[in-house]
Structure 1
Amino acid sequence: MQKSNIPHFGLYGESSWINDPEFFHIEDIESRSGDLGWKINPHRHAQLFQILILKSGEVKVQLDEQQHKLQGAWAIIVPAGVVHGFRFAPDTDGRVISIAEPLLEDAYKEKAAKFIQPLLSQACYIDFNGHRNMFSELWPLIQQLESESSFIREGRALMSEYLIKAILLLLHRQHVNGESNVTNKTENSHAHQLKELIEKHYREHWSSNQYADALGSSTSRLNRLSKTTFNQSVLDLIHDRVLLEAKRSLIYTARSVEEISYDLGFKDPGYFSRFFKRSTGIPPGKFRVLSNQPSI
């Protein structure tokens, strides 16, 4: 069998990546999924954020291993690299916004970064049911962005960028409103930096001390922050990230356990198998067999 990685697409069903710093794309759910039986099979994007805005209807969502059924008004944040799939009820109304990473790079250097970066750092669901006033502010921005994408007009790229930022800020507001735990902003910033560093270096198997040094903190202080924010130690976060990528590879690729172990920075496939079994209770080969069932 030919070995393959988890499918990466610029947009679903397209194998080429549009390397354009001004690239964004918006389309209604029906036009993207209607001809596919209202189903988008699991895949992921390497350099593309997606935001699904559900106005009405129903969707079964798969984000990595987790599956949820959503009804009514929701926003779904899908960062780059997250495996995702959807099955919509027919006549579901909503939009899918795809945003290239280069478009957001400038935003990450601006005042908007403290709102935008945390929002796009991990997959999440934002509930607008019972918050129709907030949704009524959001939807006209979605429609205006859709209009900008349909016509070539002066300042189109700049207007679209402003609209995307406004949409992200409104999503951030609603996301924060829906969170029950509000912690110190400085701590939130440091916790976000820790998550970013783990994302960059988990394959290198950095120690807790290395993360603490990179953040200018002590190991004990960083562990306290991690446990307060994530209810996990730094080492637990590192192991969870390695484990997540291992599961993705076992479920969505045909690579051997040995190949996966080397890709994740393990020098000994046997140690990887012991690590996986200790974390999940079953060896990686058995996990692959048990997971080989229809998604969503």
Structure 2
Amino acid sequence: MNKIPTYSICNLFGTETCTKDFMACSLKTFLENQSKLIMPHRHSFYQLMYIAEGSGKYTVDFNTFDVNPGQLFFLAPGQIHSWNFSDNTDGSIINFDESFFTSVCYNPHFLNEFPFFNSMTQRSTTMLKEEIKEQALSLFAHIKQEHEADSDFKNDYIRALMLQLLVVLARACQPEKSNETTRYNYTLLRNFEKLIETNFKTKKLPKEYAELLYITPNHLNAVVTSTTGKSAGELIRDRILLEAKRMLVNSGQTISEIAWHLNFEDNAYFSRFFKKYTGVSPDEFRKQQV
């Protein structure tokens, strides 16, 4: 089967117009110049997309969302996505590599601290809240304007504006309640998610993560369930299934090789696991995506 393509910022715009680690433009301009991207693909960079007008469908990691004005989409590297937008769709889009920040940031995992770039419970989209809309859209416009200018300290200024935009959006994604219990639960959930992302191939039981978090399995499950509506085991399982789906559609590996990569005992056990929670076998799922 054909491998789903992975694009860098340079791939999108060609070497003559390539900016190594950052670009910002109107969504309409981007869509007019990147018609090939309606097919499933993935990026090696992060992306913020704001929908000012238009409609359609947007699929991210096998979940399809309706597109409406006022909507924000967040993409992290590696997420498989495609879209079918109406002809009048417009807004703003910002693409940036991790290196754009890490070149001046001590923390190499800086961007993963933002919930919309590293969260299994945060949807890949949200409606821009009215209380931050004016500020956020002003920052989008200011970033685009600065990117198109030829000013001294251009990238440094863009980094400052981008950091402000990311913090504004992250605060808007936080739970509305601000009591100590809610803050503790949210922090614990984020730490749990980060541990899953690092260990899901080798650790599949909630008790293994509870040990890493220095809490009991029951406490971990209670916090996760109260915060997300899902059990701790479900979050672990969802991440394993997402990786399995990505590998099934993006590699020529056999089912047995994928099962081995995800540390299942054998191909049969992996196939039973996959079908139990998706309703189809790995092979059937792969054929559906062709």
For 2:170, give the aligned amino acid.
Answer: H
- Which residue of 84, 89, 92 corresponds with 1:92? 89
Matched residues in 1 for 2:43 and 2:36: separation?
Answer: 20
Matches within 5 A, 1:1-296: 4=3, 6-11=4-9, 13-14=11-12, 23-37=21-35, 40-46=38-44, 48-105=45-102, 117-122=114-119, 123-128=123-128, 131=130, 134-176=132-174, 184-292=182-290
Aligned residues of 1:30 and 1:38 also touching (Cα < 8 A): no
Matched residues in 1 for 2:36 and 2:173: separation?
Answer: 27
Q: CA RMSD in A?
A: 3.1
Aligned residues of 1:9 and 1:15 also touching (Cα < 8 A): no
Matched residues in 2 for 1:266 and 1:8: separation?
Answer: 27
Aligned residues of 1:38 and 1:90 also touching (Cα < 8 A): no
Matched residues in 1 for 2:281 and 2:36: separation?
Answer: 35
Unaligned ranges ≥5, structure 2: 15-19
Deviation at 1:114, TM superposition (A): 11
For 2:125, give the aligned amino acid.
Answer: Y
Aligned residues of 1:57 and 1:91 also touching (Cα < 8 A): yes
Return closer, same or farther for 1:55/1:38 CA change in 2, 3 Å cut-off: farther
TM normalised by structure 1 equals 0.81
Matched residues in 2 for 1:146 and 1:219: separation?
Answer: 47
Deviation at 1:199, TM superposition (A): 0.8
Q: Percent identity?
A: 25
Matched residues in 2 for 1:165 and 1:117: separation?
Answer: 11
Deviations 1:62-107 (A, max 9, x none): 1111112212121111122221112222232212111222444577
Q: Which residue of 2 aligns with 1:19?
A: none
Aligned-partner SS, 2:276: helix
Unaligned ranges ≥5, structure 1: 17-21
Return closer, same or farther for 1:115/1:36 CA change in 2, 3 Å cut-off: closer
Higher RCO, Cα 8 Å, sep 6+: 1
For 2:166, give the aligned amino acid.
Answer: L
**How many residue pairs are counted as aligned between the two chains?**
279
Matched residues in 2 for 1:279 and 1:210: separation?
Answer: 22
Q: Which residue of 1 aligns with 2:17?
A: none
For 2:220, give the aligned amino acid.
Answer: L
TM normalised by structure 2 equals 0.83
Aligned residues of 1:116 and 1:169 also touching (Cα < 8 A): no
